[in-house]
Structures are given as structure tokens and as C-alpha cells.
A and B are shown apart, each in its own frame.
Chain A
Amino acid sequence: MLDTVFFYFFALLTLGGAVLTITRRNAIHSAVSLILSLIGVAGLFLLQHAEFLFAVQIVLYVGGIMVLFLFVIMLVNLDDAARITQFNKQGWLALACVVAVGGELLFFVSRGAGAFRLGEPGAGGPDKVGNTERIADVLFSQYLLPFEVASVLLLAAVVGSVLMAKRKV
């Protein structure tokens, strides 16, 4: 019962925030909407017993990325951008295409629902071990290489973004 309420609440938060993100004229409004959406997603993670990711989502995504976005929005003067047309020429066509894609995806999901018993409740069970421990177990043993590679990726991103933002290279 509570699950349902919380699910719909967070779902509304997520989708509502998403819609607002893509429709606001003011970039700051968009950014704040996105934050809302991300918080909703974090909540959904929590509902799925993914506590670690809930935390990561809040800290990294909202606290890191969105702050970065806000800084850049303020750095780049978007007042003029707010005044002109927001949607480009291919808008309606894009909408149609995406609706088509979405429809197709939903169809596939519904078709596979029976096979994977996606419609049945009660998936999963009580956790025997804590979520973070479980992730740590796997992350540093089985997925060690991707972990290290991800760190290299982040290094590259750091170097890259610093380079891109410099005035004189």
C-alpha cells in the first residue's frame, strides 16, 4: 500500500520534473526541474532497495552535475537565448518519431512481460546482506577492471574539460 503511494509519488516527481525540464524557457528553471526529476529517480532507487545508488544519485548527480550545470548556465549568458524560439524546426517530426519509438518499446515490454513474469509482484526478497556490501563485493572482485577503467575515464574527462574551458590553450 505504502509502496504504491510512494511509487506514484516519486514517478510523478520524475516525470513531472522531466517534462518541465524540456519545456521551460529559462535555463535555471530547467535545471531546477531536472534536480527535482533526479530526486524522484533517487527515490525510485530507494524503493527498489538500491540504497547505495540512492545515495550516489543524490550526491553525485544532484550535488555534482546539477551544480556544475548551474554554474555553467550562469557563466554563459542565456538571457538572449530565453527570448527567442525554444523549439527547432524538426519538433513535430521528432515528436512523432519518439512517440513511435516509445510505443514500440512499450509493445515489446508488454510482450516480454509474460515470459519474465514482469507483471507479478513480489519480486526479489529480503536482503540477506546489506546492499552496499553486496555492491562492494562484486565491484572490487568481478568488476575490478571496469572500475579502474572508469577512473581513467574520469581522469580523461577532467583533463578534457579543463582543456576545453581554457581561454588560451
Chain B
Amino acid sequence: MNFLDSVWLIPLFPLFGALAMLLVGRKLDPQGRHHSAKSKVVVSILCPGTVLVSFLFSLGAVWQLVDRPERTHQIIQFTWLAGLPFHTAAGALARFTADFGFLLDPLSSVMILVVTGIGFLIHLYSIGYMAHDGGYYRFFGYLNLFVFFMLMLVLANNYVLMFVGWEGVGLCSYLLIGFYFHKKSAADAGKKAFIVNRIGDSGFILGMLLMFSVLGTTRFLDVNKALAGMGLETHFGVLTAMAVLLFVGATGKSAQLPLYVWLPDAMEGPTPVSALIHAATMVTAGVYMVARSNHLFRLAPEACLIVATVGGLTAFFAATIAMTQNDIKRVLAYSTVSQLGYMFVALGAGAYWVGIFHLYTHAFFKALLFLGSGSVIHALSGEQDMRKMGGLKNKIPITHATMLIGTLAISGIPGLAGFFSKDEILWQAYSNPYAWFRVVYALGLMTAAMTAFYMWRLMALTFYGELRVDAKVAAHIHESPRVMTVPLMALAAGSVLAGWIGVPKLWSVFPEGFRTFETWLSGVLGSEIEREPNPGLEWALMLLSVAVAGAGIALAWNLYQKRKPAVEPLQALGPLYSGSLHKWYVDEAYDAVFVDGLSKGGGTLLAQFDQKVVDGGVNGAGWLTRFTSRVSMWWDTWIVDGAVRLTAFGVKLSSYPVRLFQTGSVQAYALVFVLGVAAILGYYLVR
């Protein structure tokens, strides 16, 4: 079967699941029944099943793609938006069209495998996690819908269709964050996510439109062709503007500074949602988009600098907050923001494949960490505060073991997935020709230290030490069912093994096969910036990053396990601690400036507007009516009546001489006869 030509089916399977839930879901799962209700089984099989089928199709398509020499397969189903021709900024004639088309190439193949593979595991996990909750079918419907939109996003062959997927995943994120809609905090978090995303989307749209006007097309392959003819832009020109605008969109979706504020609040949603959307897939959409636009970014070094700087600052900033948070999911959320920053550092440094590589490895261990935390929360009947956890190592061993692997992976311990990707990023940053990237490298290194620290702090508070759990909860601590632990184990295996296809060239002992990730993507993402190979420096930096990570873990172990403190040791940092705990008051600042500013300023503005403009308009309309009526009256009196009176006057005036003929005397009339006769005869006389 030709999987390549059926690539359009891949998004449609989960769409079918979502539609089925929409139409008949309610019948299958009346709310509130115990999780062993028979009808729930249909949902449990159908929805994860569709994702599994998509995964299998993706595998088939990628397998067949490998055989093709040019590694690109584009199908255009139909033209979705057909517009009028217009002139681009350069004067060429172009047509505004967007196709409903799919592009399968190495980059999108990586993405679909990640989305469907990890998506399937999370669907499986959710069968167990959501078993007790109401709205089971609704959850799976939304989840399937999300997978559909995400696949549309990564499979699209043009920016417009990608934007459709982009918006769609934003919608599903909103629906899923606000899944527990009866909780005000969840509903608010959903709104916040959507609105902040929208701000980023405006940048995306502007970038897309600029691209249309400059290049005349938004199809990826055509854009790349058009860009090939253009030169490097060394100043802030049109291409840089385009790139920066697209990056603004990425900032919103991928939670970078300053639009990251929605991601921590998004933890109000169920944990599988956090795992799938806010760790593995949706937040990586921005990274994917920038990688897809690598031809553009290559021509705009100023934009790349901006991308890397924002990424580095975000990574550092988020890590500082993660260090003090007490909610287990919040720590992981800020960790996600931080790791996304790393990905953007890689993209900005010109090593696009490294960014995607980190995306791929991060998907494994972050999903694992989130699902593991979900397992912990499930075991503790909903407790999320780490201060009330501890000593769970032996009570939930599988969860502990998998989370340990995940922690080591994210900290960058050699051999595990995170090491290879993170290390490569740091090397690319340090050795970049632009000197500014050294600063970014410094930020990245400090972030690595903090990452290791706060992750181990999480492990220490959750699993080690003494049981600080409430008595009621302690009685019910149980390991999660197999349907939840199997995905954990699968992801743990991935966290260990996944990195081994991106082994650095430095480790030349490994054959070329261990570097397939880079070669696989080189056709699409190009190669990294040329630099002098400096193996000594590279080894040194590698060892430095490992040392830093180890130091972080050691410090955390010391503070939280060895000393067994009664209170949070970081409180010794005083104002730094409280600032970090309160997320550096960013949310409060936004609230004061934008929200209050808009509502108060806008309120005053609106009140003034209402008074002056709206009421003014109404009064003006009234005045105008009276004025026109007066004009009409004047017209009527003077012109219309005047005409009538003039006519009467004219008749009267002309009647005066005519009246004189009415003498009443018959003889006068007779005289006129005779006069008439004389006149007639006179006429014939002179003729």
C-alpha cells in the first residue's frame, strides 16, 4: 500500500475519533459512572486506536520516504483559498492561494512520529488516569481533535494551512486546560492561554502577509526556491522583519519571554494534557515552524541573534522560577519553558537539526516526567504540593524508577537522551562565529546547573525522605494500574535510547549510523555554520556541562536529603527566594499594565467615547434632523409655496389687461369682430 500517497489519511484518523465523540460520545459515557462501565470501553478503544493507526501509517510513510532519493513528497489535495492576482513588493505578479496540501519530508516525518507515537502512549495512559473523572468521552474527543490539528500543523505544505493547525491546537489547548470548567481557576487559565497565544498569532499573521507580499507565495518549497535567489541581509531589512514576526508567533505558542505566562497556569488541566500538549507537542510547534523557515532565518542573521537571545534568557529566567516552586506540576511547567528556550538557542545559533533533536529527546523525558507526576498525584488522591509528599520511593516503585530516569535525562547525564541534545546545543552556542553567543552559552550553562538542581530537588521532596503525606491520603497510596505504568516504562526506554541517533562527531568511535538524525534532516535543514573543528575545546565544554550538572544534583542532594531540613533551605536567599516563588511578579505586572490599564484606561476611554462620540452622534443626528426640517420648512414656504403664489400672481397680473376686454358691452364685442375682420382682410390685402 502506498503510504506516501495516503499521507492525507494520517490526520483524518484522529479527526474521525473526535467527530465520533462529538456525535455519539454522550451516549457512550454518561457522566459520573464508575470506570468499569462497559460503554466506556468503546471510547477507550476507539480514541487511542485511531492514534495508533495514525502512528502505523506514519511509520509506513516514513519507511517509504527513506527509499526515495529526493526525500520529499508533496501532495496537494485541492486549492483551498483561491484569490486574485496581486503584485508583490518586488513587482512580480503573484496569486493569493493556499492549498490543502501535505508535505512529507524528513522534518515533518520526525514530527509526525513524535506526535503520533507519544500521543498514543499518552492516550493509553489517560485511560487509567481519567477513569474516575466525569467527561471521559469529552476528554478523549478533545485529545483526538488535538492530535488531528497537530498533524495538520506539521504535515501542511504551506504557512496558511499550518496556521489553521496552529489555531486549532490553540483551541484544543483552551478546551483541555479548561476541562474542569466548573473550577474558576481552570476556566481563567484556559482564557489566559488563548489570549496570550493570540498576541503571538498576530505576529505570525503579519509575518505570513509580509511573506506573501515580498515573495508572493507561502508554500514551503516555493518559498525556499524564492529565498534561494536572495542574498544575506546584514541589516534589519524586510527578510529580518519577516523572520522576527514569525518568531513572535513562535514566542506565543512555545511560551518564550514575554508570552510564556500562560504555560504555568495551563497546569490546571489534567496531567495527560500537560504531558501531551504542554510538553511534547503543541509548545514545540513554534520550534517546528522556525525550523521549517530555516531558509529564511539563514538570510537574516539579526533575527537569529534575537531568537537565540530570547531563548537563552527564557531558559535562564524560567529555571530561576522553577527552583522554588512547590507544586510538582509547576516545576515541570517552568522546566518546559526553560527547555524550549534551549531549543530556540539552537535554532538561533544556526544548528537547526540540533533544535529538532532536542525537541525529540525532550518529548520523551518531559512526557515521562509529567506522566510520572500524574502517577504520583493519582497515587496521592490528588495531592500536588511537594511539601506534603516524600518517602514514596518504595510505595510507588515503578513511578519512582521511571521518574528517576527522566530526571537524569533532563539533567544531561551522559548516555541518556538529554545529554546528547543539550550538550550539542551548548557547543553550537559557544563556537558560533558571533561573539554574542558566548553570553548565550553562559546563560545556557547556568541554566543546566539550575535544571539539574531543581529536578533533583523535585525527586528529593517527592520520593525521598520521610512521609509528609496527610494521614487520610497515606492510607490509599497505591501504584498506578498497568495501563498507566506501561507508557511510563516505554517513555523511560525512549529517554535512554532515543539520544543515540544523534551522537556528536566528536565521539568518532561510534560509526556513522549513530549520527543518522543529523544526516536524515540535513536535506531539509541544511548543515550547521562552518567553523573550525576544535576537539579539545569541545571535550572541555562537554566535561564542563556534565560537571555543572553533577554539581547541581550534588547540591540538591545535600540540601534536601542529607540535611533533612524542616523548612525550605532556599529561604535563606531571602528576597531572591520570595521573588522567585512569586514568579518575579510578572503576572502581577502584566495585570497592572495591560489588564487594569485596558479596563480602566479603556473604560475611561470608552466612557468618553460614549459620551462624546456616541451621544454626540445621537445629539448630532437630532440637531441634523431639526436643521433639515427647518431647511425643508423654508423650502416649502418660500420655494414651493412661492412657486404656487408666483403662479397665482402671474395669472392675476396677466389677467389685468385681459379683464379690460370684459366690458359687458355687446357693442364693444361687436367692434372687436369688425377689427378682426379688418385684420383678416388686411392680411389678404398685403399678401
Contacts and interface: CB of A to CB of B under 8 A. Distances in A.
A and B touch in the complex (CB under 8 A): yes
Interface of A: 88, 90, 93-94, 97-98, 100-101, 104-105, 107-108
Interface in B630-687: 665, 667-668, 671, 674-675, 677-678, 681-682, 684-685
A101 B685 contact: no
Contacts of A94: 667, 671, 674
B667 A97 contact: no
A107 B682 CA distance: 11
B674 A98 contact: yes
A127 B431 CA distance: 158
A97 B674 contact: yes
A108 B677 CA distance: 14
A104 B675 contact: no
A94 B668 CA distance: 9
B685 A107 contact: yes
A58 B684 CA distance: 38
Contacts of A88: 665, 667
A101 B671 contact: no
A101 B668 contact: no
12 contacts: A90-B667, A90-B668, A93-B671, A94-B667, A94-B674, A97-B671, A97-B674, A100-B678, A100-B682, A101-B677, A104-B681, A104-B685
A93 B675 CA distance: 10
Classify the interface of chain B: helix, strand, loop or mixed.
Answer: helix
Contacts of B678: 97, 100-101, 104
A127 B35 CA distance: 151
A104 B684 CA distance: 9
Contacts of A108: 681, 684-685
B674 A104 contact: no
Contacts of B685: 104, 107-108
A101 B667 contact: no
A37 B365 CA distance: 152
Interface in B481-520: none
Classify the interface of chain A: helix, strand, loop or mixed.
Answer: helix
Contacts of A107: 685
A111 to B, nearest CB: 10
A90 to B, nearest CB: 6
Closest 5 CB pairs of A and B: A104-B681, A101-B678, A97-B674, A100-B678, A94-B671
Nearest to B663: A90
A107 B668 CA distance: 26
A90 B685 CA distance: 26
Interface of B: 665, 667-668, 671, 674-675, 677-678, 681-682, 684-685
Contacts of B681: 101, 104-105, 108
B213 to A, nearest CB: 96
A139 to B, nearest CB: 31
Nearest to A107: B685
B260 to A, nearest CB: 117
A101 B675 CA distance: 8
Nearest to A111: B685
A130 B104 CA distance: 138
Contacts of A101: 674, 677-678, 681
A108 B665 CA distance: 31
A95 to B, nearest CB: 11
A104 B682 contact: yes
Given A90-B667, A105-B681, 4 more contacts: A98-B674, A100-B678, A101-B674, A101-B677
Given A101-B681, A104-B681, A104-B682, A90 B674 contact: no
A97 B672 CA distance: 10
Contacts of A98: 674
Contacts of B677: 101
B390 to A, nearest CB: 140
A101 B677 CA distance: 7
A155 B667 CA distance: 28
A93 B672 CA distance: 11
A93 B667 CA distance: 12
Contacts of A97: 671, 674-675, 678
A97 B675 CA distance: 6
Nearest to B670: A94
Contacts of A105: 681
Contacts of A93: 671
A88 to B, nearest CB: 6
Contacts of A104: 678, 681-682, 685
A26 B665 CA distance: 23
A87 to B, nearest CB: 11
Contacts of B684: 108
A108 B685 CA distance: 8
A98 B670 CA distance: 11
Contacts of B682: 100, 104
A94 B671 CA distance: 6
Contacts of A90: 667-668, 671
B584 to A, nearest CB: 121
B667 to A, nearest CB: 6
Contacts of B668: 90
Contacts of B671: 90, 93-94, 97
A108 B674 CA distance: 17
A98 B673 CA distance: 11
Nearest to A104: B681
A108 B687 CA distance: 12
A100 B676 CA distance: 11
B686 to A, nearest CB: 11
A97 B673 CA distance: 10
Nearest to B677: A101
A93 to B, nearest CB: 7
Q: Which of A93, A101, A108 has its CB near the most chain B CB atoms (within 10 A)?
A: A101
B581 to A, nearest CB: 127
A105 B684 CA distance: 11
A6 B675 CA distance: 35
Contacts of B667: 88, 90, 94
B557 to A, nearest CB: 146
A169 to B, nearest CB: 23
Nearest to B672: A97
A112 to B, nearest CB: 12
Nearest to A98: B674
Contacts of B675: 97
Nearest to B684: A108
Contacts of B665: 88
Nearest to A100: B678
A105 B671 CA distance: 17
B33 to A, nearest CB: 118
A85 B191 CA distance: 118
Q: Which of A88, A97, A108 has its CB near the most chain B CB atoms (within 10 A)?
A: A97
Nearest to B685: A104
Nearest to B682: A104
A101 B680 CA distance: 10
A68 to B, nearest CB: 21
A94 B674 CA distance: 8
B507 to A, nearest CB: 142
B73 to A, nearest CB: 116
B661 to A, nearest CB: 13
A94 B667 CA distance: 10
B672 to A, nearest CB: 10
A98 B671 CA distance: 9
A167 to B, nearest CB: 25
A97 B670 CA distance: 11
Nearest to A101: B678
A28 B682 CA distance: 38
A104 B675 CA distance: 12
Nearest to B674: A97
